[in-house]
Amino acid sequence: MTKKIIKIPEEYKPLFENDWRECAIWGGRYSMKSHTVARFLLIRARMAKTRVACFREFQNSISDSSYQLLADLIDLYDMRDFTLTKNSIINTINGSDFLFKGLWNNEQSIKSIEGIDIAWVEEAQSVSQTSIDVLTPTVRKKNSKIIYTYNRLMEDDPVHQRLVLEGRPNTLRINVNYNIAIKYGMITDVILKEIEDDKKNRPSLYAHKWLGEPNKLEQKIYKDWSIIDEIPEQARLIRRGVDFGFTNDPTAIIDVYELDNGFILDELVYRKGMSNKSIADLLLAQKNNSVLVVADSAEPKSIDEISSYGVNIVGAVKGQGSVMAGIDKVQSQKISVTRRSINTIKAYNNYMFATDRNGKVLNVPDDSNHEWSNSMDAVRYALNSLGLESNFFIGTF
């Protein structure tokens, strides 16, 4: 059998040393953070019995975790000593295992995990101070370690404040960017062209996306939303917002509930490849399938087709200045989001105002990354429809 060599960039070599307790690894995209840490953990798990706990702030299912990345690497390197179960990965020779958990509001479950040797926290820019305070004393085994990998989001990200700006004893800090992928020939021409185009034409996006620099606090469009566990029984479903997608962008459908002069958002679906028929079937299958659905009026044919299946759907009212007017209305509301609405929470955290070439914040959303606008557009369509029923129109636009 041909031996397969696992290559680790030299910049990550300090991970194999033992004189650190916490490790911050941050930088822009294509800095090989997640892939390298996953390789490191698999190597450690083969060398000696190791319990690895893989965390993210929000994890509703195993598909939200690092499980698939580790599984893909196990397959790539033909590591037949690992067995993949439904919720864990186990080394059949020495008993090493990988567990996967969400941190948010999961204190008792996290505290119950015994004998963690290494904790890996992915997308750590989203980890709250509360979660850090729970995790740190939980990983208490002698010589145990915690690794945080992240692309900085805001200037006050708690994990970066703790490990880099303030500093902690025995902390390993590794700051890497896409130049590491260039150095080791692990980047494609397509990505390099994208990087150069962003660098030339969208310098603020380039700095954040590829160099890992944080967004300014004043760039964040929405602030002070609350995250709740469940929808209270007394809450009333009043709207569904839909932003269409298919191949490159997902279709986002957000339920909007009213409660105590505020609104609760609950992510019904966030999925690519949905046809109009599948969207209609999903909406009609819901318990409250008569609630008004407000969708992107830029796709009148989709709205007309979905309506023909019996869905109570209309197009959102649009016009000059409607986007900022809609954002202003959403900003003025008391908003909560259910914890299971992972993509909506990510969008909320990443939805930013654009900046000019000099970094000045502009009064328009940054549309250079559609990943964060899908859910936010669906929310805006739904909330801005309230009280405006007489302005709606259905079918051909």
Rounded CA-CA distance 251/148 in Å is 31
| pLDDT at residue 249 tops 90 | no
Rounded CA-CA distance 126/363 in Å is 25
What mean pLDDT is reported for the chain?
Answer: 91
| pLDDT at residue 122 tops 80 | yes
The whole-number pLDDT of residue 396 equals 31
Residue 45: band (very low, low, confident or very high) from pLDDT cuts 50, 70, 90: very high
Instruction: Give the chain's domains with CATH numbers.
Output: 10-183 (3.40.50.300), 226-391 (3.30.420.280)
Rounded CA-CA distance 177/172 in Å is 17
* Helix, strand, coil tally for the chain in percent (to 5): 35, 25, 40
Report the SS3 class of residue 358: coil
Express as a percent the part of the chain with pLDDT over 90: 71
Rounded CA-CA distance 291/208 in Å is 40
Region 233-251 average pLDDT: 93
Rounded CA-CA distance 346/65 in Å is 14
φ and ψ of 6, to 5 deg: -95, 115
Q: Which residue has the higher pLDDT, 217 or 69?
A: 69
The type of residue at 40 is F
| pLDDT at residue 1 tops 80 | no
Q: Using alpha carbons, select from 245, 242, 317, 249 the residue that is nearest to residue 286.
A: 242
Q: Which residues of 103-141 are buried (b: 16+ CB within 10 A; e: fewer)?
A: bbbbeeebeeeeebbbbbbbbbbbbeeebbebbeebbee
pLDDT digits (tens, 9 = 90+) for 187-203: 999 999 999 999 998 88
| pLDDT at residue 388 tops 70 | no
pLDDT digits (tens, 9 = 90+) for 49-99: 999 999 999 887 788 889 999 999 999 999 999 999 989 999 999 999 999
pLDDT digits (tens, 9 = 90+) for 264-299: 999 999 999 999 999 999 999 999 999 999 999 999
**pTM for this one?**
0.78
pLDDT digits (tens, 9 = 90+) for 305-324: 999 999 999 999 887 888 89
Helices (H), the chain: 33-47, 67-76, 107-111, 129-138, 158-160, 179-183, 189-201, 203-209, 276-284, 300-308, 322-331, 342-350, 373-384
